[in-house]
């Protein structure tokens, strides 16, 4: 398909219209296509933006299993790197957990999200999948719950309309699917009151482990992405702009919090990307409203402290594909009834662990009694994780699990 064909066409129909070409939407698209279901993906961004948006990197064992099951994991097996260790650097010493030998014995695969999305897109197009870039969904209307219509606008502002039997809202937290939900939809939301400066540095990883530094000045994190690029995080004062600090100051602060005086220097390099992330979580409930179904970040946003979002997106896409195929190909009208309940069980598990990680990683920065109490609980939690094999098994199972 040429870029021109991909970009035009403001009107059309399909049994399933998928909003968003992220991990959720493209996994779903590939699975429906393989089952012969008539579907189309509508994506707001252009093709280059979709293929280069750097976000996640740590893929759980179950995500790899899902992608393997459907022949979507070739690139990941060729270029992804196995990862099974994390290192905690704290005020009272540091310790490592080889989590791939704990819990269920599972490990992560480090594979940048933009590479996964590129693989999914390439596969989808090679199989003849339909996608329209630069096509922004504005609203999903579904008066009687059986024949939804998606109002769209292309890059030149021209309006259009897509008709379908089902709409899969895979368009993230701020997409049209969430904005089109009925008043009965609930959003359970928590602001954790903590912010991070997220950084991508043109520098090789400095540790052969995920690094979690707990420091009285705040948290710092280190996560490998590729042999040339590393993601870092700095706990960041809420409201401070991402560009408030020079590169030099950022590297100094990372070095201080990561205790390079004791552990050796970090490999430094140009900072390629920086963004402020206010740690927030939410869950939409239910995930089905008539013929509109939510998956991925549109369904639930786990704060990125435990690397769950992209993994949930792939899992939910598979569950949604199974239900849609049972309904549309096998004529089972009840197939979608359990979709919401099945996903929410995984979502709340991931939310709980993500919440636990946030409590573990962040020191309250005040000096009052409340902060002292909170900080003492955190130290006790870390000490238990350092010394208790049962606690370590629990950690490993939840850290890689989904
Ligand atoms: P995405 O990836 O946001 O894709 C949604 C797509 O929808 C498009 N879109 C629209 N299209 C049409 N009409 C509209 N009105 C639209 N509105 C939006 C967008 O352009 C986009 O292409 O959602 P999806 O598929 O649900 O996937 C979710 C993941 O992207 C997200 O959860 C993860 O990136 C979270 N996350 C991580 N998850 C992990 O599992 N492991 C990690 O290591 C990990 N690291 C991270 C992360 C998120 C981060 N950020 C963004 C805070 C690291 C970071 C820094």
Question: Is residue 304 annotated as part of the catalytic site, yes or no?
Answer: yes
The band of 9, judged by pLDDT with boundaries at 50, 70 and 90, is low
Q: Is 56 in the pocket of ligand 1 (CB under 6 A)?
A: yes
pLDDT tens-digit readout, 241-294: 999 999 999 999 999 999 999 999 999 999 999 999 999 999 999 999 999 999
Domain range annotation of the chain? 3-81+113-189+282-356
pLDDT tens-digit readout, 221-241: 999 888 999 999 999 999 999
Position with higher pLDDT, 8 vs 381: 381
Res. 17: pLDDT tops 50: yes
Q: Which of 96-110, 132-146, 361-375 has the highest mean pLDDT?
A: 96-110
Q: Give the range among 53-62, 66-75, 316-325 with minimum mean pLDDT.
A: 53-62
Q: How far is CA 10 from the centre of its chain?
A: 29
Dihedrals φ, ψ of 303, to 5°?
-55, 140
Q: Is 50 in the pocket of ligand 1 (CB under 6 A)?
A: yes
Res. 5: pLDDT tops 50: no
Dihedrals φ, ψ of 76, to 5°?
-60, -40
pLDDT tens-digit readout, 328-354: 999 999 999 999 999 999 999 999 999
pLDDT of residue 4: 43
> Could you count the other beta carbons within 10 Å of the beta carbon of residue 91?
12
| Dihedral over Cα of 44, 49, 52, 53: its sign | negative
> Could you count the other beta carbons within 10 Å of the beta carbon of residue 16?
25
DSSP code string of 41-76: EE-SS-HHHHHH-----EE-HHHHHHHHHTT--HHH
pLDDT of residue 242: 98
Q: How far is residue 20's CA from residue 135's CA, in Å, rounded to a whole number?
A: 10
Q: How far is residue 168's CA from residue 92's CA, in Å, rounded to a whole number?
A: 48
Tell me the CB-side half-sphere exposure of residue 334, using CA atoms within 13 A. Answer: 0
Q: Is 45 in the pocket of ligand 1 (CB under 6 A)?
A: yes
Q: Is 43 in the pocket of ligand 1 (CB under 6 A)?
A: yes
Residues 6 or more apart whose Cβ sits within 8 Å of residue 130: 14, 39, 40, 41
pLDDT of residue 371: 84
Question: CATH says 3-81+113-189+282-356 is which class?
Answer: alpha beta
Q: Which of the following is catalytic: 132, 222, 289, 308?
A: 308
Alpha-carbon separation of residue 204 from 33, 245, 260, 270, 393 (angstroms):
38, 22, 16, 11, 30
Q: Is 313 in the pocket of ligand 1 (CB under 6 A)?
A: yes
Atom of ligand 1 nearest to the CA of 297: 26
Under 8 Å between Cβ of 204 and 54 = no
pLDDT of residue 353: 96
Q: Is 19 in the pocket of ligand 1 (CB under 6 A)?
A: yes
Q: Give percent of the chain above pLDDT 70.
A: 97
Residues 186-204 have a mean pLDDT of 96
Q: Read off the pTM.
A: 0.94
Atom of ligand 1 nearest to the CA of 310: 40
pLDDT tens-digit readout, 120-149: 999 999 999 999 999 999 999 987 777 899
Atom of ligand 1 nearest to the CA of 21: 22
Mutate to test the pocket of ligand 1, among 172, 201, 275, 293 (most ligand atoms within 8 A of CB): 172
Q: How far is residue 155's CA from residue 233's CA, in Å, rounded to a whole number?
A: 34
Q: What residue has token string 């706990």?
A: 235
Res. 10: pLDDT tops 90: no
Residues 6 or more apart whose Cβ sits within 8 Å of residue 320: 28, 168, 293, 295, 339, 343
């Amino acid at each position: 398909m040429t870029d021109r064909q991909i970009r035009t066409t403001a009107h059309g129909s399909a049994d399933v219209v998928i909003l968003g070409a992220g991990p959720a939407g493209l996994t779903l698209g590939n699975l429906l296509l393989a089952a012969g279901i008539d579907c189309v993906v509508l994506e707001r961004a252009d093709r280059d933006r979709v293929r280069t948006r750097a976000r996640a990197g740590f893929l759980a064992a179950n995500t790899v299993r899902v992608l393997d099951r459907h022949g979507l994991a070739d690139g990941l097996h060729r270029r992804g790197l196995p990862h099974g260790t994390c290192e905690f650097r704290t005020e009272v010493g540091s310790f490592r957990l080889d989590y791939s030998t704990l819990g269920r014995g599972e490990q992560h695969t480090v594979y940048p999200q933009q590479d996964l999305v590129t693989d999914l897109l390439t596969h989808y197009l090679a199989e003849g999948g339909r996608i329209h870039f630069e096509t922004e969904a504005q609203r999903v209307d579904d008066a009687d719950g059986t024949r939804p219509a998606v109002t769209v606008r292309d890059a030149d502002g021209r309006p259009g309309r897509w008709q379908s039997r089902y709409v899969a809202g895979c368009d993230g937290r701020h997409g049209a699917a969430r904005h089109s939900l009925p008043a009965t939809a609930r959003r359970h939301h928590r602001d954790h009151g903590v912010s991070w400066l997220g950084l991508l540095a043109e520098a090789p990883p400095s540790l052969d482990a995920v690094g979690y530094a707990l420091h009285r000045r705040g948290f710092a994190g280190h996560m490998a992405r590729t042999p040339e690029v590393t993601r870092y995080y700095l706990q960041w004062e809420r409201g401070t702009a991402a560009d408030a600090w020079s590169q030099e100051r950022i590297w100094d602060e990372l070095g201080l919090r990561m205790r390079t005086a004791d552990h050796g220097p970090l490999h430094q390099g140009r900072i390629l990307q920086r963004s402020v992330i206010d740690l927030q979580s939410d869950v939409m409930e239910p995930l089905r409203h008539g013929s509109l179904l939510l998956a991925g970040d549109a369904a639930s946003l786990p704060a990125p402290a435990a690397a769950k979002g992209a993994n949930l997106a792939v899992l939910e896409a598979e569950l949604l594909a199974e239900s849609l195929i049972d309904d549309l190909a096998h004529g089972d009208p009840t197939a979608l009834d359990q979709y919401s309940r099945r996903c929410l069980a995984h979502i709340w598990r991931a939310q709980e662990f993500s919440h636990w990680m946030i409590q573990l990683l962040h020191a309250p920065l005040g000096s009052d009694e409340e902060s002292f109490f909170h900080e003492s609980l955190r130290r006790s939690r870390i000490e238990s994780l350092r010394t208790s094999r049962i606690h370590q098994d629990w950690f490993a199972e939840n850290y890689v699990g989904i």
